[in-house]
A and B are shown apart, each in its own frame.
Chain A
Amino acid sequence: AQKVTQAQTEISVVEKEDVTLDCVYETRDTTYYLFWYKQPPSGELVFLIRRNSFDEQNEISGRYSWNFQKSTSSFNFTITASQVVDSAVYFCALSEAGTSGSRLTFGEGTQLTVNP
């Protein structure tokens, strides 16, 4: 069965600190996709990144960076120089092959609070 574990339930940092959100996944599929979403207090899940299982290159987008390590089944997310606006719940998700196409399995989320 597919599983996504975000062991950090809550993280609190002070503005300008760097913070890493951990994501560990389990799957038997050889082809899969990993995602990160941000959920601010308004409720909408905002798509951040999609990575396929064959591409282990790290990615950087502004203050955001992602470290995909297949050997440890991890897909960690780092925010550099955090800002108050980064406060949100962050979800890691795994796309698995289902009988009717792929479906997303979400982790339980990490509540990030960035204090001024």
Chain B
Amino acid sequence: ETGVTQTPRHLVMGMTNKKSLKCEQHLGHNAMYWYKQSAKKPLELMFVYNFKEQTENNSVPSRFSPECPNSSHLFLHLHTLQPEDSALYLCASSQETSWETQYFGPGTRLLVL
């Protein structure tokens, strides 16, 4: 595997379900990010992790819960989501959080029914 991978690529869930999105980077980076991309809206930064520590939470509702067990893996745990949470969720990584280029995964397309 190379670059940034995300699983699953597509996910359909009901509002009462609990699911998790997984991101893995094979670039030796130390910073990882979650973004949300909704139709007709700019990319929204959700969370930033640097050396496994969360350094930014961009006022994200608590129904989204990130986890970063090590610098290579990032999870986004989902529970009691709303239909408006349907979007493309993108993971990215960079060498560190200072000016470095972010490299993105293919995203998970989430549909909440």
Contacts and interface: CB of A to CB of B under 8 A. Distances in A.
Given A95-B99, A106-B42, A101 B104 contact: no
A44 interface: yes
Contacts of A108: 41-42
B107 interface: yes
B105 A103 contact: no
B90 interface: yes
B97 A50 contact: no
Contacts of A35: 101
A98 B56 CA distance: 10
B106 A101 contact: no
Given A103-B56, A108-B42, A45 B98 contact: no
Contacts of A52: 99
Interface of B: 31, 41-43, 45, 48, 50, 55-56, 88, 90, 92, 96-107, 109
18 contacts: A37-B104, A43-B106, A43-B107, A44-B104, A44-B106, A45-B92, A47-B102, A52-B99, A98-B97, A101-B31, A101-B98, A102-B98, A103-B45, A103-B48, A104-B45, A107-B42, A108-B41, A109-B42
